[in-house]
Amino acid sequence: MTQVVESIFRMYDIRGVVDDVLTEETVELVGKALGSALLATGQDKIVLARDGRLSGPRFRDRMIAGLISTGVNVVDIGQVPTPMAYFAAATLEGVNSCVVITGSHNPSNYNGIKMVVDGITLYGDYIQNLLKRIQDNDFSEGSGSVIEQDIFQAYQSYIVNDIRLAKTLKIVVDGGNGVAGPFGVAVFRAMGCEVIELFCDIDGTFPNHHSDPAKPQNLADLVAAVKEEGADLGIAFDGDGDRCGIVDNSGNSLYADRQLMLYAQDVLSREPGGEIIYDIKCTSLLPKIIEQAGGKATIWKTGHSFMKAKMRETGAVLGGEVSGHIFWKERWFGFDDGIYTGARMCEIVAKSEQTAADLFATLPNGINTPELDMPFAEGEHYQFFNKFKELTQFTEGKVFDLDGLRVDFADGWGLIRPSNTSPIVTLRFEGETQAALDRIKALFREKILAVDSNLKLPF
């Protein structure tokens, strides 16, 4: 049996510390398993991309070696955001699969692999089946080819032809030194925006701040720049460009679940009765807005793979997560894309007679926390959560265990769930009043510490 570290085969992708658990040899074996799985579906061609991490070029080389050894033909589109690989798989003739070498928003010593086979984003059992192929040495053999192709002009043209700005906007783009920075800047300028760049050079050491716009502390530089420049809007990307953060002209960030309120109202104006999927971390105010706008609101599991699968199943026109993944079916291809999401927000703000701050202020707002993280050693977060779920009862509220544990009370809710991308347990709380929020947080604090009194809580 071939030895690889099983823990890197996660729920949505393969991810781990470079040269520790994710080695060049492992990447090549994944290429062999992925190529074999692709051939089993009747496909023989795949798009390959990578983000800006320092290990990207050598991992690309080993991924290509693995894929072509099975007889699969590779279209290498180079160092580009993950959504451009999805775009290539959706638009290039004769290919609807892709693989991306990316560590997403993880620290610089991580890398990973995201995969789409025959239009399906791999997750769960699909990924475990790749692990089994590797352990069983169950690989096809052949001789594939490699070509390089530039997809950016087609991608940019599609967005520029789709988006209509009613007026010129001045925006600040914070690339976070991730791969999306220069591409996003080029797209927004082609749309007609005046763009101020912040950390838009690609640097796999991420020297300025962590490339995760869902965390308020990572938006501090963007907030300051928007205020200083008198910009209409600020947009921040994560490491591989499938998410974006939004800051208004007053420097206030708009959580993605409240962004989704605006996107839903806009989409439903053209798609009446459309279904919109949102993840379990979202504010309880969101489904009310969706329904008021004439849509059908459906709560679902967190995770880009789960969300895309649910959208395919339901035919939903839009989906979104608190983390900033927004999935566009209306006018797009159903996948999450930070650049395209930023462009849609620009379109909405430009056609409003209000400033972004005044427009965002029209959206209802609960009293809530951002996502809060409890770090654990690798794998131990699942053990803690399982123990918590087994030992804890919430008689005061209604328990919803689709993904983690969400407890809904008459005046708010709390959520605790193990992350599928990092060794952390995430929490989020919301109350109709500050007193309600404080009570719910105190209840969760008491129950968490009853399971492990040594934990340092982030709230």
Smallest CA-to-CA distance from 240 within 321, 176, 295, 195 is with 176
Max CA distance (Å), the chain = 65
CA 253/CA 98 separation, integer angstroms: 33
Residue 76: how many CB atoms within 10 A of its CB?
16
User: Position of tokens 């795949």?
Assistant: 46
CA Rg, the chain, in Å? 22
Structure tokens at 103: 């560590």
Which amino acid is residue 459, in one-letter code? F
Helix extents (H) in 148-206: 152-162, 181-191
Structure tokens at 160: 């520029």
Spatial neighbors of 120 by CB under 8 A, at least 6 apart, are 126, 309
- Are 186 and 155 contacting, i.e. CB atoms less than 8 angstroms apart? no
Structure tokens at 202: 């690609």
Which amino acid is residue 318, in one-letter code? L
User: Distance from CA of residue 54 to its chain's centroid?
Assistant: 21
DSSP result, 409-438: ETTEEEEEEE-SSSSEEEEEEEESSHHHHH
CA 305/CA 115 separation, integer angstroms: 10
Catalytic residue among 69, 97, 104, 253: 104
DSSP result, 195-256: EEEES-S--TT--SS-S-TTSGGGGHHHHHHHHHHT-SEEEEE-TTSS-EEEEETTS-EE-H
| Plot region of 199 (φ>0 → left; ψ -120 to 50 → alpha; else → beta) | left
CA 317/CA 333 separation, integer angstroms: 10
| Plot region of 14 (φ>0 → left; ψ -120 to 50 → alpha; else → beta) | beta
Which amino acid is residue 131, in one-letter code? L
Helix extents (H) in 8-81: 24-40, 56-68
Structure tokens at 414: 């709390």
To the query of whether residue 157 is one of the catalytic residues in this protein, the response is no
- Are 324 and 238 contacting, i.e. CB atoms less than 8 angstroms apart? yes
In the beta sheet, which residues pair with residue 74?
46, 146
Catalytic residues: 104
